[in-house]
A and B are shown apart, each in its own frame.
Chain A
Amino acid sequence: MVKEIERAGLPVVHICTVTPISMTVGANRIVPAIAIPHPLGNPALDLEGEKHIRRCIVETALKALETEVDDQTIFDVKY
């Protein structure tokens, strides 16, 4: 789906847990997530803690969309 969105002309970032799959499938801007059942959260943290990591991931995703890339790129998240 990421690739079809890209093909249609929209810049797209893929936030996903299993980044090698995203690489194989062909996403160009990739941001690693936390875990398969909660990619943008962590039930082990309190609500504020969870929101913090979510903010960090989404911020990285926005930065990825603001960055020119020539090739598939994984943008690591700073927490």
Chain B
Amino acid sequence: MAKIKVVHYVNQFYAGIGGEEKADITPELRVGTVPAGDALNKAWGEEAEITHTIICGDSYFGENMDKASAEIMEMVKSTGADMFIAGPAFNAGRYGVACGTIATNVKNTLGIPVLTGMYVENPGADMYKTQIYIVATKDSGAGMRDAIKKMAPLALKLARGEKIEASCVEGYIPNGVRVNLFEKECGAARAVKMLIAKLNDKPFVTEFPMPDFDRVEPNPAVLDMSKATVALCTSGGSVPKGNPDRIESSSASHYGEYDITGVMSMDGDHWETAHGGYDPVYVNEDGNRCLPVDVLREMEASGRIGKLHNKFYTTVGNGTAVLSSKAFAEEYAQKMINDGVDCVIMTST
């Protein structure tokens, strides 16, 4: 089999041209390699070879993405390469985005296999991990050896069209595609091993990682609660009896906005829960157990709070996608702000 011809993309720094002061250089096609490319060639031996290297400044790419991308695409095409490799970019943000953008373009337009590498928190990783294979690297160039060790074999597999195993086997950043594999030990044995490691403060790898959630800075405290309008929201599915808007008991597709003007208590004759993820008996009996309207009315009367907002917002949290919940709350938070709400109590079951 003929040697696989690879074209390699790097930034000004890995080409040895310079640092930030050279980050505005325009794309350039060179015959041959840079040191990172040498390392790949060495790892491949007779199987594959980087014949050309494309170099572009990170700032130039970031500021002229469409133009730079088109120029680079022409260069890749002119080399007639069998495969395209970008980076690795480690935790360099602009470089990572450049690697991801170009590799994705090459894959989609030229149809040749592509591979890049970067640190999991590089913004380029989140942008492109579902479209191309991105090897997970350390966060700095000190991880070059480790990166090459993972990228070289995966690149060969991709170039030859071989089957790609799960991310934990190949070392790429999970791309959301599930790959079945057989574990040597049964689940119980693995769970006990993990527990023992955890109890001994030893490292272990979960088989069910929690999704990453971003953080929001807390808002300043309410200065005078006796003048504040307090709004109630819930993921506990409180709805008027009969669930008029048909909020789903699981994986809700919408939220409800209900008027509680004059409502002193969430009594079971008029209110219920649409939630399908907990035993609804108690909340159907007395809705204040989920949405504490009764005590907030007392606090309104005693002057502890200014007033209870006359609308509440509700949905069913059960199995509802993070993206949906985000969209619901984005929308009703604006409604509350427009209505002059000062603070919010959210209840969850």
| Interface of A toward B, CB cutoff 8 Å | 1-18, 22, 24-29, 33, 36-41, 43, 50-51, 54-55, 57-59, 61-62, 65-71
B263-287 contact mask (Cβ, 8 Å, vs A): 1 or 0: 0000000000000001111110110
Q: Would B305 and A41 count as touching, CB distance under 8 A?
A: no
A27 to B221, CA, bound (A): 14
| Interface of B toward A, CB cutoff 8 Å | 210, 213-223, 225, 230, 233, 235-236, 278-283, 285-286, 288-292, 294-296, 298-299, 304-305, 315, 325-326, 328-330, 333-334, 336-337, 341-349
Q: Would B304 and A62 count as touching, CB distance under 8 A?
A: yes
B100 to chain A, nearest CB (A): 26
List the B side residues contacting A58 at CB < 8 Å. Answer: 292, 295-296, 299, 345
Question: 5 closest A-B pairs (Cβ-Cβ)?
Answer: A41-B289, A4-B329, A8-B333, A28-B218, A1-B329
A39 to chain B, nearest CB (A): 5
List the A side residues contacting B233 at CB < 8 Å. Answer: 1, 5
Residue of A nearest to B294 (CB): A51
List the B side residues contacting A55 at CB < 8 Å. Answer: 295, 298
Residue of B nearest to A14 (CB): B346
Q: B290: which of A14, A25, A38, A61 is its contact (CB, 8 Å)?
A: A38
B35 to chain A, nearest CB (A): 42
List the A side residues contacting B333 at CB < 8 Å. Answer: 4-5, 7-8, 10
Q: B330: which of A8, A37, A43 is its contact (CB, 8 Å)?
A: A8
Q: Would B225 and A39 count as touching, CB distance under 8 A?
A: no
List the A side residues contacting B291 at CB < 8 Å. Answer: 40
B285 to chain A, nearest CB (A): 7
A43 to chain B, nearest CB (A): 5
